[in-house]
Structure 1
């Protein structure tokens, strides 16, 4: 495939391979369809309405977002089924969620009695029915109420609330995503989901409708997504993949890279790229370089520069452009305003990352 497109792109830049993107979308959609469950992809990974609509067109039930501001962006772009997979606590954000529910379905998760009461009070004043899911702590210890009796008590409170409706249970096993040994990951994930399914049954035994169990991620999609009783999964990173996830879940291919230019060759065996911490993140590891394997490796990363060591077999000159594969796709995407979309060696689009920086 021709790489002449690189000459037309100012660097550093985010580049998406359109065909790989489409394959990843299709593969996850077919997985969920074949198992009779819903797909609700987490769009915090790509933050791009165009890609969200591609996922919905392929069969996704709706989307997940992390922030109210993300929900506002995607709702304004025509997405009409949104799960805000975080508790909404502050009064002004609650009002914004209620505003969204005047024209699009926007659900939230809850894990405390006070939050349930605050949401119900605000919804009653606006005469809006708000759908909520109980957030279960399945071992991550970041948020959520414990499965079992504690969740049941919260379900009873929601059932009594005049303007809240229990949609189901949210159960994100994020602490298991990066376990390398699959058998260990499978056993721990199934143990989590067993507690979740039993909690759903307990709630229903007490006469309360609880129709949905949603959770999972790219790292556990094929475990959580096949567990009896789970009705929906929320993977995000599969859409692009990064080399960290790809080493654990090779089912989806790497569709996104950071294009960068060789700026300097200060000494033998060293190149400096125009890709620093403002262009790629390293919170989950150093980037790899497409087509170079271990022949090019990161030495130091500053705000605007990346110094790399090169094998004697590598011939890179000032002005050459190479592609870096990030170890964490979500945080890297949030550094950019748009994607360059490539197909068959040509730039076919510039897609806005409209929810970039939407952190409130």
Structure 2
């Protein structure tokens, strides 16, 4: 079936339908590879080419999506855990940035990554002199060189150092340290989530200005071009317009309800769907489904956790470990055992709850993708 026919078919039926779905236990997470591929191609187009995209793997955590990205020319990736970094190395990724402070045993584990997976170029973040010394001491003892990025705080106030004199001094310290190789600067501005893209762009440009000044100053001082890795999903369309800047969104392969509503300018499509079932009718106007907060990300308000594709008017009224209670109307024919398709508001932590996802192609279960990096440890 060619692409045009597939698109026409989707216009005539629910794209998420699956033949034989009644045999699949719930809750389960379904992934639609063709839609994942569409989202990847759209992200690469927005970035201006695969060389300007360094996607974060925290959303999908599986080798199959890494393979799809690499098939489109993406070779650089970002992650937050040692397990995610190892999964990427096992997949043959060329460059992997662990965008997380390496402290305590994590430093030794990272050294092991460097020694075991020598075809992958690993790097991590640094945001203070004590951290730089800690990394330098460990890599010196192990006789390995560690690539680092200066982590700049532009208002998120989570990690990083503010651009300015202290950041310049830290850059100089890393440059002078024998076993650290400073590659450039890293900026995550996830606090910028204005619905209006014009307001978000203005705030993003203002936050990025001192970053650009710092990078230019260090390039002039040391006569070497620096890599600038910037942004997440909210500021992706803004940073993608900057010359030479590498963008690192993460949610786009699967997408979710939260970003679909808050980032309307980004035309990614849903590619991951939960299924659940009606397990009880405790009152005439209530049903209970098997979608507790052990099955879907639940850090948001109750009304902002799930969205039902066939029944968008369903309203959650309570949520517990294994149950979600929903208010129904008289015209909803929701009997015991009824299967429901659900889009989570936050897909990233939702994926981490499933040891595997089911891939769906041509309305059939086509495979099972292990969520390999949901584990804290794979081998190292």
- Measured against the shorter chain, the TM-score band is over 0.9
**Residue 289 of structure 1 contacts residue 297 of structure 1 at CA under 8 Å; is this kept in 2?**
no
Match of 2:297 among 271, 281, 285: 281
For the 8 Å contact 1:16–1:342, the answer to whether it is kept is: yes
Q: 2:318 aligns with which of 300, 313, 325?
A: 300
- In structure 2, the residue corresponding to 1:151 is in which secondary structure? helix
The count of corresponding residues between Structure 1 and Structure 2 is 355
Say which of 23, 44, 51 aligns to 1:29.
44
Q: Contact 2:83–2:375 (CA<8 Å) still a contact in 1?
A: no
Residue 144 (structure 1) shift: 0.8
Structure 2 length normalisation: TM-score? 0.89
Moved over 6 A (4+): none
CA distance in 1, matches of 2:247, 2:75: 10
Alignment deviations for residues 260-295 of structure 1 (CA, whole Å, 9 cap, x no partner): 01111222221111111111122132211012222x
Matched, 1:19 2:34: yes
Matched, 1:97 2:107: no
Shift of 1:74: 2.7
Measure the CA separation in 2 of the matches of 1:141 and 1:179.
17
Asked if the contact 1:12/1:261 (under 8 Å) is kept, the reply is yes
Alpha-carbon distance in 2 for matches of 1:59, 1:249: 26
The reply on whether 1:240 has 2:254 as its aligned counterpart is yes
SS class of match (2:218):
helix
1:159-174 correspondence runs (5 A): 159-174=175-190
Q: CA deviation at 1:182?
A: 1.7
How far 1:210 moved relative to its partner? 4.6
Find out whether 1:131 has 2:147 as its counterpart: yes
What is the Cα-based RMSD across aligned positions, in Å? 1.8
**Conservation of the 8 A alpha-carbon contact between 1:137 and 1:143:** yes
> What does 1:1-360 correspond to in 2, within 5 Å?
1=13, 2-34=17-49, 38-90=52-104, 92-102=105-115, 103=118, 104-176=120-192, 178-207=193-222, 209-228=224-243, 230-250=244-264, 251-284=267-300, 285-294=304-313, 296-358=314-376
Q: Is the 8 A contact 2:149 2:185 kept in 1?
A: yes
Rounded to whole Å, the distance in 1 between the matches of 2:174 and 2:317 is 54
Q: Tell me the distance in 1 between the aligned counterparts of 2:177 and 2:237.
A: 36
Deviations 1:21-51 (A, max 9, x none): 11111110222235x8511111011111111
Give, in whole Å, the separation in 2 of the partners of 1:64 and 1:73: 12
Q: Which runs of 5+ in 1 are unaligned?
A: none
Contact conserved, 2:239 with 2:245, CA < 8 A, in 1? no
Query: Unpaired runs of 5+ in structure 2?
Result: 1-12
